Amino acid sequence: MKTPSLRAVGARLEEATALLPGEPADNAEAFDRYESVAIAILDSEHTDFPPGVLQEHLQTLMYKRQLELGLIPDPQEA
């Protein structure tokens, strides 16, 4: 069995989040939607990757999104 690409996982995360109905009221809600989709991907695809790889990748993507949305301080700007 071939391991799927982590890049493809990121693309699916972005696409699925964009397809959710309605618009988020604020950045915190935008992140909640992103996180919900990430959790669904982790639940459904974790066995397609070596242990911990998909979880770590999704956590990194969520951290990056929190920075982009201004939900956490950027350590580069401290």
* The pLDDT of residue 11 is above 70: yes
Alpha carbon separation from 48 to 15, 56, 61 (Å, rounded): 20, 14, 18
Q: What is the pLDDT of residue 36?
A: 98
Cβ–Cβ < 8 Å for 34, 14: no
Joined together, the tokens standing for residue 62 give: 């969520």
Which region, left, alpha or beta, applies to residue 22 given φ > 0 means left and ψ of -120 to 50 means alpha?
A: left
Mean pLDDT of 21-26: 97
pLDDT in tens, 27-73: 999 999 999 999 999 999 999 999 999 999 999 999 999 999 999 99
pTM confidence score: 0.90
Question: Residues with Cβ < 8 Å from 71, sequence gap 6 or more?
Answer: 27, 28, 31
Mean pLDDT of 14-27: 97
Cβ–Cβ < 8 Å for 14, 56: no
